[in-house]
Amino acid sequence: MGVKSAELLLVVVAAAFMFGIGMANWNYTAAANWNHTVAVPNWNHTANDYWFWGHRHKQPSSRFVVGGSENWRFGYNYTDWAIKNGPFYLNDTLVFKYDPPNDTTFPHSVYLLSDFWSFRSCDLRRAKKIGEVNEGAGEGFEFVLKRWQPYYFACGEHNGLHCKAGLMKFAVWPLIRWY
Burial class (CB in 10 A: 0-12, 13-18, 19+), 52: exposed
Ranges for all domains in the chain classified under CATH 2.60.40.420? 63-172
Instruction: List, for residues 128-143, the tens digit of each pLDDT value.
Output: 999 988 888 888 899 9
The model carries a pTM of 0.65
Single out the residue of 71, 175, 74, 160 nearest to residue 119, CA to CA.
160
Q: What would the CATH number be for the domain defined by 63-172?
A: 2.60.40.420
Which of 140-144, 145-149, 154-158 bottoms out in mean pLDDT, i.e. has the lowest? 154-158
pLDDT for the residue numbered 145: 95
Paired with 110 in beta bridges are: 131
Paired with 50 in beta bridges are: 55
Mean pLDDT calculated for residue range 35-50: 53
